[in-house]
Amino acid sequence: MCLLLISLRWLPIAALGLFIPERAEMYRNSTEVKMSQIVLPCHANHRGELSVGQLLKWMDSTACLSAERHAGCSCITASVDDIHFEHTIGVGQVVNIKAKVNRAFNSSMEVGIMVSCEDLFANRQWKVCNAFATFVARHTDEGKVQLKQVMPQTQEEQTEYSVAAERRRMRLLHTEIMKDLLGNERTRVESVELVLPPHANHQVNTFGGQIMAWMENVATIAASRLCNAHPTLRTIDMFHFRAPSQVGDRVVLKAIVNNAFKNSMEVGVCAEAYRGRETPRHINSAFMTFEVLDAEGNPRNLPRIKPEPLDGPRRYREAIARKKIRLDRKYIISCKQTEVPLSVPWEPSNQVYLSYNNVSALKMLAARTNWVLTSEKNKVNLYTLEENQVLCFKVETHVDIAAKRVFALLSDLTRRKEWDRHYKHCEMINQVDEEDAIYHVITPSVSKTNKGQDFILLASCRTPCNSGDPYLIALRSVTLPTHPPTEDYIRGEIFCAGFSILEVSSMVSYYNQASPGVLPYISNDIAGLSSGFYNSFCSCSKFLEENKESRATADSTAF
């Protein structure tokens, strides 16, 4: 495989066929790797578009080089998160891939990948997809590799660094939700590949991108057999590599259409490897969603399928469930924040993704650097941030109490009414797990109707992943069928709110992206006509001080 690494100072501009100004003063991440490839006919499918399998190979290679640049040793692909392809790439166009390490953990690291397409003749570019891959540093002669920490330098890097910890948590829980495709099922397509040296890296392990390309190939054949046409791959659910394969292995790939919906179909595909007479070992499994496009590029209606005997009905039902999970995940995570409704229905199937959205939204809000100091009183500071007609505010102060203890007290929302006059009543509805719970909160009336407001809030609490990370208590509105709006209260909604507690500086910060239901409580403070924030934080500090020695919950949260 030919990798073309772009360096603006080393590569002649004429070789690119376009003008790129040299900006030596621009900051560049030390782990950043770029690849640019012109799509040739040998890379394309029947429609003259870049094969997704080829694109996956290029993405994996670029990300691997970035991971190895940070680790200083060879790395292998452990997993790739969901990929949603927004556009296709045609022959003659240029694929630009950029990868950089977002965060390193012990021996694994997350690499962010951005893919864009460039039309040299029209002088325009557009985004194709982005992805997050996890790479693991291989052991050296000196033992297990301990990766050095990533040091974010820009606001964007700080945001990705912070959210990477929550993505890692979601990644670890993902396998509990998406059931694996079993290897002994009856399959529609089966193919075997011999792993040759060109398929492997310098450690003779098969490229993760090569495995993904082979899986995409058999999945495409399975989808083609159902619709008697050439399908287009739209999404790939998370890849998770369970074992490596090496040069000389035989990789067996099996694919089957699990279910067909109106305009899309789900294909399950798995990969196994063996050598000689040994028992095949499971390498990977994934679910891919295909569409068939008509001449105008619109999705065609697909024929329904009849579940096969034995495991067919199970696959059929699970495909329906996965489609629901897939839509929830795409809706909650992939959409722009302004496109996501304030309150999303909560279900056990989408809990992981709602929790991720909850925490990541708070982390991204906290990472903003353009806050404006609105008022300051006795070391209680009020900041505001107004962008795109959205008002956000932050209140912060220092406390002389251990951060772990502050976290334990503030994470129990049932006690918030002891210091926050805006909390009239609060009860826990559902203890989701050790880190997440759902509360019903009632607040006093601030309207002419004399009706109070109530909120259904998902609280997601996180302890630091590494030293220097804050404790987090993230809040957002959800809806529950068991707790619909009533005539007694006006149902309010919160999109993003919560606490960030720093252990080093003992700084407690409260954030809120003001929604219409929250504005009546804060408008006077923002305008400087009230000291409600100051009074609330003084009450909070007093509450923390009075309870800092309580042993009942000293070393544990309310969860």
And the tokens for 497? 């709110």
The answer to whether the CB of 94 falls within 8 A of the CB of 66 is no
The answer to whether the CB of 461 falls within 8 A of the CB of 473 is yes
Task: Please tell me the predicted confidence (pLDDT) of residue 16.
Answer: 35
Instruction: Report the distance separating Cα 417 and Cα 460, nearest Å.
Output: 19
Q: What is the longest distance spanned by two Cα atoms in the chain? A: 80
| CB proximity list for 19: less than 8 A, separation 6 or greater | 13
Task: Please tell me the predicted confidence (pLDDT) of residue 521.
Answer: 53
And the tokens for 385? 């941030």
And the tokens for 278? 């040994």
- Identify which of 33, 126, 34, 130 has the alpha carbon closest to the alpha carbon of residue 82: 130
Task: Please tell me the predicted confidence (pLDDT) of residue 54.
Answer: 93
The answer to whether the CB of 388 falls within 8 A of the CB of 378 is no
Q: Is the pTM of this model over 0.75?
A: no
Regions of the chain where pLDDT drops below 70: 1-25, 140-143, 173-187, 306-343, 389, 446-449, 515-532, 550-559
Task: Please tell me the predicted confidence (pLDDT) of residue 429.
Answer: 93
Instruction: Report the distance separating Cα 333 and Cα 538, nearest Å.
Output: 36
Instruction: Report the distance separating Cα 138 and Cα 305, nearest Å.
Output: 44
pLDDT above 70 coverage of the chain, percent = 79
- Identify which of 275, 333, 265 has the alpha carbon closest to the alpha carbon of residue 302: 265
Instruction: Report the distance separating Cα 315 and Cα 181, nearest Å.
Output: 9
Instruction: Report the distance separating Cα 537 and Cα 531, nearest Å.
Output: 10
- Buried/exposed 516-529: b ≥16 CB within 10 Å, e otherwise: ebbeebbeebbeee
Residue carrying the six token digits 């912060």? 396
Pairing of the two strands 124-137 and 75-80? antiparallel
